[in-house]
């Protein structure tokens, strides 16, 4: 994974970031090359969000490749043949406590 791919994954426009803050960009790129992306994220956790707000990536190629799954409590499925209403299935099984005896 390159530093540009990492920034795209964090929805930061690498080109704008490089143009406006070249010293910080080069320092971060050097640090990123020396450690795992998770470690880099843990170190720069509180600095990434302000950068994302400044240099928001307008067209995220990572999200265009795969659609994001909805996080609704229910999942819609195709209705069985002969019915007009869609069947709604719960996203997770419902567990009920056993009655005390």
Joined together, the tokens standing for residue 51 give: 């950068």
**Does residue 87 lie in a domain region?**
no
For residue 7, how many other CB atoms are within 10 A of its CB?
A: 25
**Does residue 76 lie in a domain region?**
no
| Torsion sign over Cα 55, 60, 63, 68 | positive
In degrees to the nearest 10, what's the CA dihedral of 74, 76, 80, 85? 90
**Does residue 88 lie in a domain region?**
no
**Does residue 8 lie in a domain region?**
yes
**Does residue 99 lie in a domain region?**
no
pLDDT digits (tens, 9 = 90+) for 39-88: 999 999 999 999 999 999 887 555 555 554 444 444 555 555 665 667 67
**Does residue 44 lie in a domain region?**
yes
* pTM given for the model: 0.57
How many domains is the chain partitioned into structurally? Answer: 1
Its domain, for residue 10, covers 3-59
């Amino acid at each position: 994974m390159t530093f540009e791919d990492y920034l795209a994954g964090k929805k930061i426009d690498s080109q704008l970031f490089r143009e406006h803050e070249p010293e910080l960009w080069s320092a971060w790129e050097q640090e990123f090359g020396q450690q795992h992306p998770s470690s880099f994220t843990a170190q720069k956790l509180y600095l990434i969000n302000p950068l994302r707000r400044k240099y928001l990536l307008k067209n995220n190629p990572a999200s265009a490749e795969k659609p994001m799954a909805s996080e609704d409590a229910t999942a819609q499925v195709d209705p069985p043949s002969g019915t007009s209403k869609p069947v709604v299935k719960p996203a997770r099984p419902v567990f009920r406590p056993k009655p005390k005896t």
